[in-house]
Amino acid sequence: MEVKMNSRYYAYKDSGVEWLAEIPEHWDVGRIKQLAWFKYGDSLSSDSRESGNVPVYGSNGQVGNHSCSNTHAPCIIIGRKGSYGKVNYSTSNCFAIDTTFFVDDTTTKCDIRWLYYCLSIVGLDTYSQDSAVPGLSRDYAHNLWLPKIPPSEQRAIADFLDRETARIDALISKYQRLIELLEEKRTSLISQAVTKGLNLSVPMMDTKIPWLGKIPIHWEIKQIKHVVQINPETLPENTSPNYTIQYLDISNIDKIGGIGINQEFLFADAPSRARRIVRAGDTIISTVRTYLKAVAFFENPLENQVVSTGFAVLRSKTDVYPKFLKWFVLSKEFIERVVAHSVGVGYPAINPSELASLPIWIPTYEEQFNIASFLDRETLIIDSSILKIRKIITKLQEYRTALISAAVTGKIDVTQ
């Protein structure tokens, strides 16, 4: 996908505004407050919302529905608190809550669509008036500079960007759907290998466990605690204050087992939850916020590797091949059991003793090795494909932003 970016206006001048740089000679610049006025949204708690089809917008986008609106359509909603500076667009009347500002035809004479594109790249999210609770100052926003251009050009730019961004968004959506399909294939592949094995011709037995069904007849079912050590090592409270640890929290683990960047701490400065010691061959699984499905395997952990007490560290005994345990824990069947046995609504958690009592089905050691090797190989192919697609999506998103910037700053002439 490519749009000609070399169609330029006849003559340019310096705008005097850094982010605009040169603008077409017949354009001018003005502060946002000369073009539009940001109105405060209104208070509307979740309990106060009435059944209806009117979208309710918070700082991060739509957060529900209500029976009435406090804006006209179309409308721009700008995050004021939380996801401050985030810009959303509604084609229908909506209710903007009190963590937002909004702009509609009562507060601007500009083309709303054109103004939306301008506000999306002007940098409203680069300044916060409060470091404790991030927020966008209306005075700050009102004093930012925008181009001042004739209404006919506003409409032309908006029409062009509506058309071109729709094409880009449709392509991004197709790639995102492809990622979803690959992730579904990955999940299915793991489930099939871990519960049925690689040889589908072997006799099967009914486990009498509804969510598991049949497994190869020669596999054994045991409780995890009989074949796996859970949290075998913990840093004691009398650890030297100057002991250096490499720490991972739940946010550092992605949903396919990727491990993020460690945080380095002296023990004296480390969070109180930085206690679980990890060794080579260990698998970790989150026992709090279990819906995040944070699981990771440590083949070559860093020296002094420690993870949060929000994880259970699983260490194989002699009957279980460590990498098979990794894939077992990543299987849909096991993850769903962990989530099902978790307690709590906002912060669901599973007790380690409850985790230890869950079942594990065990092939022969040779089969475990072959299953793990198969899944290592096949999921690597899928993960590589997903990574390539994500890079394409990133490039499309960057191109979309560049196209909007080029159009609203006059670097390309879309009026011809």
217 has pLDDT over 70: yes
Sheet strands (E) in 4-153: 12-14, 22-24, 28-31, 39-40, 54-58, 61-66, 75-79, 87-90, 95-96, 100-103, 145-148
Going by their DSSP bridges, the two strands 305-308 and 214-216 should be labelled as unpaired
SS3 category, 119: helix
pTM listed for this prediction:
0.85
What distance in Å separates the CA atoms of residue 257 and residue 270, rounded to the nearest whole number?
24
Structure tokens belonging to residue 99: 């963590």
Give the pLDDT band (50/70/90) at residue 65: very high
Mean pLDDT of the chain: 93
Provide CB contacts within 8 A for 26, sequence distance 6+.
none
Cα–Cα distances in angstroms (integers) from residue 378 to residues 5, 188, 314, in the given order: 41, 12, 24
Count CA within 13 A, CB hemisphere, residue 306.
25
- Condensed to tens digits (0 to 9), the pLDDT of residues 121-139 reads 999 988 766 656 778 999 9
Nearest to 233 by CA among 283, 278, 271, 267: 278
Place of tokens 């917008």: 57
Cβ pair 172, 397 in contact under 8 A: yes
Phi and psi angles of residue 6, each rounded to the nearest 5 degrees, phi first: -105, 10
Question: What pairs with residue 65 in β-bridges?
Answer: 55
Q: Determine the pLDDT at residue 1.
A: 55
SS3 category, 409: coil
- Return the number of other C-beta atoms located less than 10 Å from residue 95's C-beta: 28
**What domains are defined for the chain?**
1-7+149-205+363-416 (1.10.287.1120), 28-148 (3.90.220.20), 220-361 (3.90.220.20)
Q: Report the sign of the C-alpha dihedral through residues 376, 377, 379, 384, in that order.
A: positive
149 has pLDDT over 90: yes
What distance in Å separates the CA atoms of residue 26 and residue 344, rounded to the nearest whole number?
62
Maximum CA extent, the chain: 81
Residue 41 DSSP class: -
Going by their DSSP bridges, the two strands 311-316 and 228-230 should be labelled as antiparallel
- Residue type at 28? D
Q: Determine the pLDDT at residue 131.
A: 59
What distance in Å separates the CA atoms of residue 405 and residue 409, rounded to the nearest whole number?
6
Q: Report the sign of the C-alpha dihedral through residues 250, 254, 257, 258, in that order.
A: negative
Cα–Cα distances in angstroms (integers) from residue 30 to residues 26, 48, 143, 321, 414, in the given order: 14, 40, 9, 67, 21
**Mean pLDDT in residue range 226-249:** 94
Residues of the chain by 3-state class (helix, strand, coil), percent to 5? 35, 25, 40
4 has pLDDT over 60: no
- Condensed to tens digits (0 to 9), the pLDDT of residues 259-307 reads 888 899 999 999 999 999 999 999 999 998 887 888 999 999 988 999 9
Residue 143 DSSP class: T
SS3 category, 354: helix
User: For the chain, what percent of residues have pLDDT higher than 70?
Assistant: 97
Give the pLDDT band (50/70/90) at residue 2: low
SS3 category, 362: strand
DSSP H helices, 22-96, are: 32-35
What distance in Å separates the CA atoms of residue 126 and residue 246, rounded to the nearest whole number?
31
- Return the number of other C-beta atoms located less than 10 Å from residue 230's C-beta: 16
Cβ pair 213, 207 in contact under 8 A: yes
377 has pLDDT over 80: yes
Place of tokens 């475990």: 368
Cβ pair 143, 27 in contact under 8 A: no
